[in-house]
Amino acid sequence: MALHPQCAFFLAEAAKANVPDMPTLGPHGARLIGHTPREFSGPLRDDVKISTRYITTPTADVVANIYQPPGVGPHNGMAYFHGGGWAFNYINKYDAQLQDLAARTNSVIIAINYQKAPEHKYPIPFDDCYTAFVWLHEHAEEFNIDTKKIGIGGDSAGGNLASGVAQKIRDVNQHHLAYQMLIYPCNGLDFETKSYLANADDYGLTRNNMMWLWELYLNGPQDFSDPYAVPLNATNFEGLAPAILFTAEYDVLHDDGVLYAKKLSDAGVPVIYKDYLGMIHGFFNYGSVIDEGIAARSFLVDSINQILRG
C-alpha cells in the first residue's frame, strides 16, 4: 500500500524543521527535541486518574505513573514500557494512550520512566521494567487487581523491553503474566532485513539511527546472545505469554515484528498480529495528526479483552 497521506504530510512537516539525525544530536539533544505536548497523542480523558509513585529498582528510585480506571474493581493490570530507543522519551507522552487503554480494558496501568542509555546501559532499563511488573503484582491488593489478569506492553524499545521481560517472567516463574503487548518492537540486530533496507531513510526512524541506538543500549557483543537484551536471539520461545503484536509497513522494524510473531507462533504461543499498511514508525504516538494512531487502540483493547476473557 502507498504511504498514508497523513503520514506523508507528517513527514513533510517534520522535514521542514531540518533537525539533524540522532547521532548528530546526541542523547541530550534528542531528549530536548522530544518534549511534545501530551495532547499530541490525542485528547486526554477525565475519567482515568493519573498519580505518581516511586518504584525502588535494583539501582535507583524510579518515577512511575499509575493510571486508574473508574470503579472500585476488581481490575485488570498492565505494566507499560515506553519507546524512545532506550535513550529518550518519558511516560507523560503516553498519558492519552494509557488513559484510553486503562478505561477500555478496566486495567490499572503502571508506566515506569526507566533509566536511560547510554548513561544507564543494559541491563539497567530492563531491570527497572521487570521490577515495575513485580511491583504491580505485589501491590495488587492496594489497587484491587486480579493477579491472574496482569499483562505487560511497550512500543519500539519498550516493545523490546516487554519481550525480554516476558521471557524473564517465564524463566523465573514466580508471577503470572496474562499477555505481552508488543507495538512495533525492535527485537533483533539484523540490519539487512528487507524492511531495514527498504525503509532505511525518509520515514522517520532510520536504519542509521537504530544502529546507533543499539550501540547506546548494549555493552558490546557479550550482550548479543542475551535473550532479555535481544529477544530475537533467544533459543526458546515455548511457554511465553500470549502475544498481541502490530507492525507498521513503512518502518525499519517491520520485519523484526513479523519474525518475532512467527517465532512465537512456531513455538505454540498464541499470537494476535496486525500489520498497519501505509503507516510509519511511531504512529501510535501521533494520534492528533494520524487518525490510525488512535484507531489502533481499538485493536489493542479488543485483543486484550479477548485474552482476558479466556
Using CA atoms, how far apart are residues 109 and 69, in angstroms rounded to an integer? 9
Q: Identify whether 281 is a catalytic site residue.
A: yes
- In angstroms, the CA 172 to CA 193 distance is 32
How many CB atoms neighbour CB 304 within 10 A?
Answer: 26
Terminal CA-CA length for the chain: 34
- Does the active-site annotation cover 137? no
Residue 93 — φ and ψ, nearest 5°? -70, -10
Cell 508506566 locates to: 111
Which contacts (CB < 8 Å, 24+ apart) does range 266-271 have?
A: 266/237, 267/236, 267/237, 267/238, 267/240, 268/238, 269/237, 269/238, 269/239, 269/240, 269/241, 269/242, 269/243, 270/242, 270/243, 270/307, 271/242, 271/243, 271/244, 271/245
Q: Mention every residue, 6+ apart, whose C-beta is less than 8 A from residue 274.
A: 245, 246, 247, 299
d(CA 145, CA 72): 10
CA distance 178 to 196: 31
> Active-site residue among 156, 163, 195, 303?
156
**Of residues 95, 100, 223, 251, which has the active-site annotation?**
251
| Known active-site residue 156 | yes
Which of 95, 256, 281, 303 does the annotation list as catalytic?
Answer: 281
d(CA 198, CA 209): 15
Residue 86 burial (C-beta neighbours within 10 Å; 0-12, 13-18, 19+): buried
177: left (phi over 0), alpha (psi -120 to 50) or beta: beta
Residues known to be catalytic: 156, 251, 281
